[in-house]
Structure 1
Amino acid sequence: MNWILFAATFYIVVLVAMYLLQTRLVYPGSDLRSKPEAYGGVGVQEIQLKMADEVQLTHWFIPPRKKHYPVVVAFHGNAGHTGDRLAKLKYFTEMGFGLFQVEYRGYAGHEGTPSEQAFKADGLSALKWLSEQGYNKDKLIMYGESLGTGMAVWLGSQFPVQAVILEAPYSSIADVAQAKYWFLPVKYLLKDKWRSDLSIQDVKAPVFLFHGENDEVIPIALSRKLFELIPNDKQAIYFEDGYHMDLYDHGAEKNVREFLQEFVIGKLNTSSP
């Protein structure tokens, strides 16, 4: 009977530790970030915004090259920052779009404690700044990678954006955690669940989703689950040899370009005088 008591005690200790450490597990943060030029970001503007709790965040912005083109608002994944993602997203600016890379509190050397509530407030602040520069919500495209897909889906459900692009998305963080820690009831312990499966049902804009069949971080089954819930125009590409961070090595840029040509640029050209 002693081993049963030990096993039960150990299980409870693990549960308590998971609950107490969940912020660090869900939001591991990233290394310090240098200036944009260190990542090839010539011409990138650093936009400093102070949040309601006095946390100051520095985002990166490149205005659209073409008149009337939208701004792509990009939310990166975990364990990285805007500098890590700039190179792979520069094709948006080559196409004529603007690019606004949102940075997170607790990442890239920023102060503040990450949370779903805080991230959403910070995201709204970024959109408010863009609106003040003349880029209204209907002149935006939401782009999310991994963790950042939760932000892209949520904002896409709140505003009439032009499109939503999701790289390795999930149905919810609770589903991701439960798949990883299948032996624990973690989905009931999580404070931040990031319910994209609920928010996606309110997205009116076209959605493009791409994922790797071999993804070991976010199971592709969760991506397929999310795709089925998209109510309007939608496209998906699943890369047979793709993992979590290598989708652009398998041709994702070409697929995103084709999606934007059909659902955004085509409409812009039609509506232009």
Structure 2
Amino acid sequence: MRALFVVAALVLAMPSRVEANPARELVQHMSRGARAARMGDWVTYRFNGGGLRVYYWRLAVVGEEKDKEGRDAVWVEMEAGTHPAMKSPLAQMRMLVAREGDVIRYDAISRLYIGAGFSPPQEYSDEALQHVLKQQQEDAKAAQAAAPKTPPRLPGGLKPVARSGKETRLMTLAGTVAAVPVEVVLKSTVIKRMWLSREIPLLNLAKMEIPGIGHSMEVAEYGIDAKPRMRIPAPDAPKVRLEYADAILDDLPGAADDGHGHDTSEDSP
């Protein structure tokens, strides 16, 4: 799961000391046709980490139902791999996420399936899922507590500034779309550059560049006809138990590799 969320974290991460707010241009752009996530929405991104580090990340809404607490919820699938069509994906995830109005609450996951490499997908038991979610919350709190209360001052009183341009036509791997460019700039250096588009479902992100480290992410394909692609195990198939929950996440591509495999089924001794 850490491997699949890494790109989303990069997209959402913005310097905390940005002084200007370019929201007006974005609001005007989004008001001319942007819509909330719907059943069938999907988008695939090409992520370039420099050199030969190129892979694809796909996000799709593939189902709707009530969760265990009676809330409206959607099934969201995530896939990561080296092929744009996700042939032989490196990792897959399917999760049932609560929805409040137009907002998909990724902090309210009630069911979770994980598949990595050649291993068949497995569902997390309730205990294992709660353990993982609790651990993530504790890690987030620890990181927040460890962060300095006063952000370090930049030399010479420099402050990052967010600025946006006018709506433009942007050429992407998925075709040309209308987009608003947004940059985070420190003096004359561009820290991050993004193009946000109402035409791209789910994340509304058309392209992103981080020039300092040579990373980029660009929409490769998108649509409104997503179907479930993960092979769901039978209801009586072994689930991931509590004692193996952390081990499975550590074994996903992109997570820390200790060189040892883990048996995750309930039939393990």
TM-score, normalised to structure 1, is 0.25
Name whichever structure is richer in strand by fraction.
Answer: 2
TM-score, normalised to structure 2, is 0.25
- Give the structure, 1 or 2, with the largest relative contact order (CA under 8 Å, sep 6 or more): 2
Name whichever structure is richer in helix by fraction.
Answer: 1
